[in-house]
Amino acid sequence: MSDEKAHKWIVKDPEEEIWWPSEELKKAAWVSDESIYEEAREDPVAFWEKHAEEGLDWVEKWSKPYDWDPPFMKWFLNGKINASYNCLDRHVKEGRGDKTALIWVPEPTEHDPQVISYEELYEKVQKFANVLKSLGVEKGDKVGIYLPMIPEAHIAMLACSRIGAPHSVVFSAFSPESLNVRLQDAEAKVLITADGYYRRGKKLDLKDDADEGVEGTGVENVIVVKRTGLDVNMVEGRDHWWHELMEDAEAECEPEVMDSEDLLFLLYTSGTTGKPKGVIHTTGGYLTQAYLTTKWVFNLHDDDVHWCTADIGWITGHTYTCYGPYLNCATTLIYEGAPDYPELNRMWQIVEKYDVTVFYTAPTLIRALKKGGDEWPEKHDLSSLRILGTVGEPIDREAWLWYLNKIGGGRCPIVDTWWQTETGGTLIMSLPGIGPFIPTVAGRNFPGTQHEVLDKEGNVLEEGEEGALVQMPPFAPGMLRGVYKNPERYEKTYWSRYDDKYYFTSDAARKTKHNCIRIGGRMDDVMQVAGHRLSTAEVEDAINRHEAVLESAVVPEPHEIKGEVPVAYTILRKGEESSEDMEKEIISHVGEVLGPTSKPARIIFVDELPKTRSGKIMRRILRSLLTDEELGDITTLKNPESVKTLEKITGYKGPG
Ligand code: WT7
């Protein structure tokens, strides 16, 4: 595709740093009229009913659309539906079996990619569903999935949903111990894993970890995909090769009729305590939200190639690499390996080669690739791109603009999608055909949902004031239905703050002009500086705008007079020198951007920040380093060794 053919899909406001959809995009978008918001607000339940009915095939229609028995919600009560039927069967029956469902890109460049049609995926899913059945898996049994990003991951998920066996996916880079805790809690009967996977050119073993992870759990059978050919130990009677079981499997498997409120999957996520929570997602509501948000937020049409870079170990991987695209009969692309392997242009090379139109990733990756230099994306023709998405943490202005200009060629809207594991699908963003697209601002309520910014007492705050982001009733269909085996934790974490009236997101936010919402980060990251509410994200954004700065993380430090002051851990760009002068310069720069109260008390120059495996900076650790508090569990970090270095730099003494 040439540049002349590429879509010019946004226009900049001449006065402000705000972009709007072009006429061309408005014409091409599923929704482009602001009236959709008003229409949905008048009767949100009817709005969701309409899309559940139009977008999905139900075995039996619901008898009641919505029920709220605080703090428990239900959607499409007594409706009967099957997830895998909606992802596969109906498309094949409609004659769309030849359409490409999945493009799989392996990490080693010398390996062949796989292009799998809906017909082929349908066949494989049915067979694998029969494999599970032959091992005694019944409706309601839980299945653990501990797989890298290979087609079998999607096949396994869809096969589970076909027979009504809820899956519990555990990120393949998680430790055996993390796997063990999750398998125990979910009471999984079967584990699906692989002999290993490729990462940065190396074959990594996964089977040993899986073996350790199933010890002492209720897992009776382990199914192993052969990916690397590494020599692995197969336990007689317990372990089976995927390809051998598939050879003997029956071809046809009828989808199980599921109740709308039957468990579709569990997904574990960390909370404020050490033990992960099993977030409960049920069938009808989740599918409705996954279907509609994928369609509208990414403006998916028949010719799109949708690439969400998230691993299936995260909710983003569930909803936007798997369920959402398949429900829309779209083409989804997944990539096995590291984003910088063999070189920093791997992502852009994939975009060019497969004519990717929708690219959805996280700020952390955008910043990492930005750091790598402009020469990498510049090598590639990225004109197939139409929509760029971001998710997972607030994105700073510099990264946003780089994404817009260097990746999107200044042509593509950036949809900054706010949501959580708990919400099942995205809920706050700017719709491509409506806008606006503003750096650091997520956007508007998805139609049929309402989020507000409240103070501690539950009063709705004015535009510009920072407070707690809550969801108002009726709660979105894809919301979690509980914490597995722990209703008290569900109630305490999400509902107790506002007396079961509103869902508390734990995020700080403020309303901005154009009815948008700007996310300030988790509430535990909010500082109170001399009586002024200040979000760490805001100070970081200001610091990151300094030309010498690559990335920063701001945490509050207790202060005698001001209560708290912001302290910034900062990584400088290549070639920049840390010095007292640099520190002064950055501090005064923040003062200029945000005002004197926002100035960091000091800057701690570092080479690396402690991050979770999903790329989130662990501010809790950065805070504790300054206060000599317990650092807590650091084993789940992507780079636990960075903490040792930071202990030296900060002079951390530890508690006591
Ligand atoms: C938390 C949820 C939802 C998929 C990935 C993360 C933060 C998420 C945004 C965004 C600012 C965001 C919030 C939220 N977050 N998206 N667009 N802008 N912050 O899922 O691990 O459940 O984390 O991620 O703090 O509460 P998660």
What tens digit of pLDDT does each residue of 351-407 get? 999 999 999 998 888 988 998 999 999 999 999 999 999 998 888 899 999 999 999
Position 414 scores a pLDDT of 98
Inform me whether the pLDDT recorded for 273 exceeds 60.
no
463 in the same domain as 584: no
Residue 140's pLDDT band, with cuts at 50, 70 and 90, is very high
Report yes or no on 4 lying in a domain.
no
Q: Of 522, 557, 584, which closes a domain?
A: 522
Q: Is 519 in the pocket of ligand 1 (CB under 6 A)?
A: yes
Give which of 25, 31, 28, 30 is closest to 413, Cα–Cα. Answer: 25
**Which residue puts its alpha carbon closest to atom 5 of ligand 1?**
392
Domain total for the chain?
Answer: 3
SS3 percent helix, strand, coil of the chain, rounded to 5, is 35, 25, 40
For 557, the 3-state DSSP assignment is strand
In the chain, the percentage of residues whose pLDDT exceeds 90 is 84
Residue 342 is part of which domain span? Answer: 10-81+265-522
453 in the same domain as 375: yes
Report yes or no on 91 lying in a domain.
no
Closest atom of ligand 1 to 362 CA is 5
285-311 residue pLDDT tens: 999 999 999 999 999 999 999 999 999
For 529, the 3-state DSSP assignment is strand
Report yes or no on 106 lying in a domain.
no
pTM of the shown model: 0.85
460 in the same domain as 313: yes
Rounded to an integer, the average pLDDT of 457-476 is: 96
Position 271 scores a pLDDT of 56
Cis status of the peptide bond prior to 148, with omega within 30 of 0: no
247 in the same domain as 277: no
Position 3 scores a pLDDT of 52
CA dist 247 and 127 (Å) reads 9
Report yes or no on 338 lying in a domain.
yes
406 conformational bin, left if phi > 0, alpha if psi -120 to 50, beta if neither: alpha
305 in the same domain as 239: no
CATH number at residue 620: 3.30.300.30
Rounded to an integer, the average pLDDT of 604-630 is: 91
Rounded to an integer, the average pLDDT of 122-147 is: 98
313 in the same domain as 456: yes
CATH number at residue 295: 3.40.50.12780
Distance between Cα 391 and ligand 1 center (Å): 6
Q: Is 426 in the pocket of ligand 1 (CB under 6 A)?
A: no
For 76, the 3-state DSSP assignment is strand
CA dist 63 and 589 (Å) reads 60
Pocket test for ligand 1, best of 286, 393, 469 (most atoms within 8 A of CB): 393
Position 1 scores a pLDDT of 45
How is 178-233 classified by DSSP, letter by letter?
Answer: HHHHHHHHHT-SEEEEESEEEETTEEEE-HHHHHHHHTTSS--EEEEE-SS-----
Rounded to an integer, the average pLDDT of 460-477 is: 96
Report yes or no on 95 lying in a domain.
no
276 in the same domain as 201: no
**Which residue puts its alpha carbon closest to atom 20 of ligand 1?**
420
In the chain, the percentage of residues whose pLDDT exceeds 70 is 96
396-450 residue pLDDT tens: 899 999 999 999 999 999 999 999 999 999 999 999 999 999 999 999 999 999 9
Inform me whether the pLDDT recorded for 272 exceeds 70.
no
Residue 270's pLDDT band, with cuts at 50, 70 and 90, is low
Residue 525's pLDDT band, with cuts at 50, 70 and 90, is low
Position 5 scores a pLDDT of 59
Report yes or no on 135 lying in a domain.
yes
Report yes or no on 540 lying in a domain.
no
Position 563 scores a pLDDT of 62
**Which residue puts its alpha carbon closest to atom 8 of ligand 1?**
392
Q: Is 419 in the pocket of ligand 1 (CB under 6 A)?
A: yes
Rounded to an integer, the average pLDDT of 597-619 is: 90
Q: Of 477, 506, 522, which closes a domain?
A: 522
218 in the same domain as 120: yes
Lowest mean pLDDT, pick from 171-175, 211-215, 312-316, 381-385: 171-175
Report yes or no on 139 lying in a domain.
yes
Lowest mean pLDDT, pick from 145-159, 210-224, 255-269, 603-617: 603-617
468 in the same domain as 342: yes
504 in the same domain as 357: yes
Inform me whether the pLDDT recorded for 190 exceeds 80.
yes
640 in the same domain as 571: yes
428 in the same domain as 332: yes
